[in-house]
Amino acid sequence: MATKYLTINQAAKLIGVTPLTLRNWDNASKFRAFRHPINNYRMYEFDQIEGLIKKLGLPKPARKLVVKVLED
């Protein structure tokens, strides 16, 4: 199965933080983002986001939200 990558906005929505928070975590090496090879935008693997949600003890996002985010 191909790896699902999320934009910073999609990842922030799933975690429940702002994109600025994710940028700050990336800059502080607390939660590293992958960089898109062409445009250098921050990208996150879906599995990476799921791991953070579990680590923080947050409830799993509703399936409807996950599907909507992945479709956007």
Domains of the chain: 5-71 (1.10.1660.10)
The string of pLDDT tens digits covering residues 10-67 is 999 989 899 999 999 999 999 999 999 999 999 999 889 989 889 888 887 766 667 6
- Tokens encoding 34: 């992958």
Instruction: Provide the greatest CA pair distance for the chain.
Output: 34
Q: Is beta strand 5-7 parallel, antiparallel or unpaired with respect to 42-45?
A: antiparallel
Q: Which two tokens stand for residue 25?
A: 């975590």
- Predicted confidence at residue 3, as pLDDT, reads 72
Question: What tokens appear for 41 in the block?
Answer: 């935008």
